[in-house]
Each structure stands twice: as structure tokens, then as C-alpha cells.
Amino acid sequence: MNKQGAFRGIVWFLVLLALIAFAYSFWVRSTSIDLYEYNFTKYQKDLAEGKINTVLIKQNEEIPTGMVSAITDDGGRHEFYASDINEIIRMAEEQNLLNQQMLSEGKRPVRDQDIVITLGDVSRQSTFSQMLPYVILLIIIMVFMFVMMMSMQGSGGGKMMDFGKSRAKMMVENDHDIDFTKVAGLQEEKQELEEIVDFLKDPGKYCKLGARIPKGVLLVGPPGTGKTLLAKAVSGEAKVPFLSISGSDFVEMFVGVGASRVRDLFAEAQRNAPCIVFIDEIDAVARKRGSGLGGGHDEREQTLNQLLVEMDGFGVNEGIIVMAATNRVDILDPAILRPGRFDRKVVVGRPDVKGREDILKVHTDNKPLGDDVDLHEIARTTSGFVGADLENLMNEAAILAAKNNRAYIQKPDVDQAFIKVGVGTEKKSRLVPEKTKRITAYHEAGHAILYHLLPDVGPVYAVSIIPTGEGAAGYTMRLPQNDNEFTTKGMMRQDIMVDFGGRIAEELIFEDITTGASQDIKVATQTARSMVTKYGMSEKLGLINYESSDEEEVFLGRDLGHAKSFSEETAVQIDSEVKRIMDECYAEARRILEEHIEILHRCAELLLERDRIDGKEFERLFGQNDGILGSI
Ligand code: ADP
Ligand code: MG
Ligand code: ZN
């Protein structure tokens, strides 16, 4: 049945329901004609006037009060309930007596005939006949639901299924449109997965040699690096079905749903073998057991247990490969990594320059590029970007090019997209008071000048005093650091100095200071603290890790009462060391900015004039003799 058919079904159902309701109400009505119009008083009156010729009384355990039917001479039949049956009978008998007395006395009676009084037992209504309408209704509803369910299963073309007695979640894909050519870079990772592809293509080959193929492959890497893509590509290469579900789909409100979903998933996999089962975000179910902040983790444990049971359950070479993705291996339950489960781990890292260029090539395949767009150059300036970021960047560029009515994507589009991806959309239309603009201009100029003058940070990519979508009044963007470069103590100090640059510039120029530097101060403090507690960069405290790894604990909810691993005195020392580093950086940054106050003025003026300046324009502010300072 298609959608239209289902709709017609609903209409029919409603019509039927209305008919039944109507019939039922009619049935109820017919048994209670003028039940409430007639009453004891009227009975008494009719009796006295001699209108009643028959009194029928029905009574049994079901109607203990008794139902009275008073039939009048004119053929009317009046029914009413009476609480005291004896009273009714007595009154009728009295009337008869009275009449007889009057007859014998020769007087004219109210009635010349006796009132017939019959006491009847109401034939008891069987419970079944009472319930019949409801039973019929129930059957109709059930039939209807069944039909709907069948039609729903038919309509999905097998793509979605009724899953775990709840919303359809699992996807079975059979279109093999993603293969390894769509996955750029990741050469080694692809090679590692090659044997799995080979196995899925021809499991027999491996079985004959008694080789044990891994049941599970865990893809580990930061978000957006192409884990999902890689898993899909494996199924595409091997041309086997791809069953996917997200780990968070297992964790439901209802206890037991997760486990039953796991069971369904593997039952489906067995039917589709050879195939790939892909569990995205597996950390949602496979966290270390016994962790979590009370409530709700029982369900997760059940789900995890079921997953382990299922993975142990199917044979080694049955042709089901379970792939899972996560960006947090450290929080996974160790049981999941044991042999026979996810015993193969493929680390999908951030792409290097070459990888980024390849990814850019894949994502500009269908986009016309102008001659001025150099993918190698873009790859060079986007260190730290993952595949998803690059895809997003080129997509934004294409949108901007279309908005500017260009037939090709050109460099300005890419540049603008880069800023958009980096700091969010610029809110050019937002009205900013002149004073705020001036302060922002000096603030950003302060950051930018330090980026430029300090040896290990920068270079500046763009400086702007256009408010951004994220709520910043302006921004100074630097080119990302080169790949795989260590962060040094000098760099961290320089980072702190740059962070202070904004506030110091404000202090140097204006009498008052603003709250605009709060984020800068926060970042600087974090950097300084981790220098002391994490990287052993303070001689006074030595090479000791003082991190209480708070984040992880809150996240996992383990050892809630966990105490600090160092004494109070040490805490005081840490604080004083952090303060010392911050003070030194502040003094140094202030000295540099004071020395270059001319440039600070010029930079701020230029910003107020243009709103945004790029790296080249910014560098032109510095004369030739402004060399780079020595290492700090
Ligand atoms: P993950 O699962 O690791 O979070 P995805 O596989 O969902 O990341 O990647 C998101 C998107 O980023 C993909 O759909 C693809 O467009 C792009 N992408 C990521 N890595 C690559 C890559 N190596 N080659 C091509 N595109 C990639
Ligand atoms: Mg993913
Ligand atoms: Zn700032």
C-alpha cells in the first residue's frame, strides 16, 4: 500500500468508527425510552386518577432498585426506577382495594377494573452481550493496526524497518556509490582495510587457509576525519550491504530497548551476510561499565553486554564485519577490545598538507574553479582542518560564488569562506557605536601587532572589527600552525602575550578598560596553568603532573569524591607560579606594545577606515626596520 492507500485506510476506519458509535448510542437509547421523564410523583398522580391499568415490576440482582413500567389506558408505557418496590406495589393494591370498597358501597370508583400487578424477573443480560460492542470495536482496531503495519513495511522498500519495537533507526544501504576513490588521503588506512574488503568479496579463500579474519574494526579519530566515509567505502568496494546504526540510538528511555535493538541488528546482519555492520559513536554504549552518574547506566550496560554476546555469538568467518567509530577510545570498556571483538584498530588522523590537497580535489571535482584558486595553497593554509571542514569550506565558497553570480569559484570566495568557517558569519549590518568601534580597533590591533612581532606565533591572516555571529566584537585571525609541530614553552608564553595584547592596547589608549577581554584572560589563564600542572614548564614545581583530570571524571562520573593528588601547599605554589608567568608575559607584552605605539595607532586607524584588513595590508604598516624580535 502506498501513502495514498494508507490515507484511504484511515478514512475508511474513521467512517466505520462513526457508524459503530452511532449504532451503539442508538442501542443504548432504545433501552431507556423516557426513563427520566416519568417518575414516582407522576406515577402516584396517574394512579390516583385511575389512568394506570397495569404495573409491571422488573427486578433482579442487577437492578436491585427495581424498574417499574406503568402502562396507562391510552397505551402509554412509562418506565422509571423506584427505590422502594414494596411501596409501589402497596400503592397499587391500595388503589384496587379502594376501588372494590367503593364498588361495594355502590359509589362510583375511580377505576372499575383492578390494576394488574406483575412482578417479573428481568432476564439477566449476559456479560458477553454487554461487552460485544466493545469486543467488535477492539477487533476492528486491531485489524486496522495490522493492515497499517503491513503497509508501512511494504512502503519502505526494505530500507527502513520496524526496529527494536520502536522508531525505525537502522539503515540498510545497498547502493555502492561510495568506494575508496571517494576517500582522499588516508592511504595507509585504506590499505589496512583492503584485506577486509578482499575477505568480504570472497570469504571462502580465507576459510580454506584457516585464516581468522577480524570480526570487528574500530575506527578511531577526531570528528569529521572520514570514519563513516571509510566504513561506507569498505562496503562499497566489497559490494556488500551496509547496515548502520548510531550508538546513541541504542540508549533509549525504555529499559531493554537497547538490548533488543542489538539483537535485531545482528539478526538482520545474519540475513544479509556477507555485510558490514557499522555502529557510529560507539562510545555512547560501550563506555566503561560501572561508570556514569547513577541512573540510566544499567540500560547501557545491558546493551553493551548484549553487543558483546552477539559479537561472540557469530562464527569467525560468517562474513559479518562489525565496524565502529569513536573519537574517545580512552573511555571504551576494555572488554570491547578483546580478541574476537574489535581486535583491529584503525586510527584515522587529521590529514596533512598532501591529504588536505587530495580531499580538496575530491570535493572540487564537481565545482568549476577559477584560475586563481590554488588548491595546494589552500591546503597549506588550512592545517588542523579535517575532511568535513574542507568539504564545508569549499561548499561555502561555492555558495558565495553563486551569490556573487559568478560562473567559477574564485579566490575571494574561498577567502571569505575561510573567514566564515573560522569565525562565523560577519554581521556587517549590526550597528556599532563609534566609541565601541574605536576600542575594538585598538584591542584587535594589540593582538595583531604581537602576533606579528613575536617570533613563534602568527602570521596574521586578517584583522577585523566587524562583529561576528558568535558575538565577538571583532577578531584577529592567524594562519593555523603547521602540522605536527610541537608547542614549545616559548610559544605558549607568546600565546599568553598575544592574549593580553588586546587588553593592554585598551589600557594604553583609553582611561578605562572594558569587559571585552574576558575570553582572552580565560584562555591565557588556562595556558599558564597547564604549563605549570601538565607540561612541567615551571622549575619550581618540576616535572610532575598535577592535573586532577577533572574533565574526564565529570564525564565518566567515576570516583566522584576523588581528592586532589597534591597538598594545599602545592596548590598555593601552583597558583603563585601561574601568577608569575602571567605577570611576566604581561610586562613583556606591554613593553612591546609601548615601543610600537605608533603602529598601534596606525593599525587602529586603518581598521576604523576599512573594517577589515588582510595580512598583507597589515604587514605594510610595519616599516622595513621593524625586524622580528629575538626568541623569548
Ligand atoms: P566522521 O565519521 O569521522 O566524523 P565523516 O566520515 O562523517 O566523518 O566525514 C564527514 C564528511 O567529510 C564526509 O561526508 C566527506 O564529505 C568529508 N570527508 C571527511 N574525510 C574525507 C576524506 N578523507 N576524503 C573525502 N572527504 C572526506
Ligand atoms: Mg561519522
Ligand atoms: Zn581579544
The angle at the Cα of 235, spanning 234 to 239, to the nearest 5 degrees, equals 120
Q: How far is the CA of 390 from the centre of ligand 1 (A)?
A: 9
pLDDT value, residue 124: 57
Q: What is the pLDDT of residue 438?
A: 93
User: In this structure, what DSSP letter does residue 165 have?
Assistant: T
Residues 308, 335 contacting (CB under 8 angstroms):
yes
pLDDT at position 122 is 59
| Grid-cell match 519495537, residue found | 165
Whole-Å CA distances, 591 to 497, 517, 587: 11, 19, 6
Pocket test for ligand 1, best of 229, 244, 278 (most atoms within 8 A of CB): 229
For residue 219, give the ligand nearest its CA: 1
**pLDDT on residue 62:** 59
444 is catalytic: yes
Grouping H, G, I as helix, E, B as strand and the rest as coil, residue 53 is: strand
- Catalytic, out of 79, 357, 444, 588: 444
End-to-end CA distance of the chain: 75
pLDDT at 391: 94
Q: Residue 359 Cα, ligand 1 centroid: separation in angstroms?
A: 9
- Those residues with Cβ within 8 angstroms of residue 20's Cβ, 6 or more apart along the chain or in another chain: 133, 136, 137, 140
Say how far apart CA 221 and CA 327 lie, in whole Å.
5
Grid cell, residue 208, equals 580454506
List residues near ligand 1 (CB under 6 A).
183-186, 221, 223-229, 325, 359, 362, 387-388, 391
Name the residue among 238, 230, 175 with its Cα closest to residue 203.
238
Instruction: Kindly state the cell numbers that stand for 141.
Output: 482496531
How many Å lie between the centroid of ligand 1 and the Cα of residue 358?
12
What's the pLDDT at 153?
Answer: 56
Which ligand has the shortest distance to the CA of 519? 3
Q: Which ligand is nearest to the CA of 392?
A: 1
Q: Helix, strand, or coil here: 409?
A: strand
Please, what are the averages of pLDDT over each run of 10 residues along the chain (632 residues)?
62 81 67 61 84 81 71 82 80 85 82 80 63 84 81 47 46 79 89 88 82 86 92 90 84 69 86 87 78 58 84 74 89 83 88 91 91 89 88 94 92 89 77 88 95 89 85 83 77 94 94 88 94 90 75 45 71 93 96 95 94 90 57 38
Question: 218 C-alpha to center of ligand 2: Å?
Answer: 13
Whole-number CA gyration radius for the chain: 42
Distance 25 CA to ligand 1 centre (A): 62
629: three-class secondary structure by DSSP? coil
Residue with the nearest Cα to atom 12 of ligand 1? Answer: 388
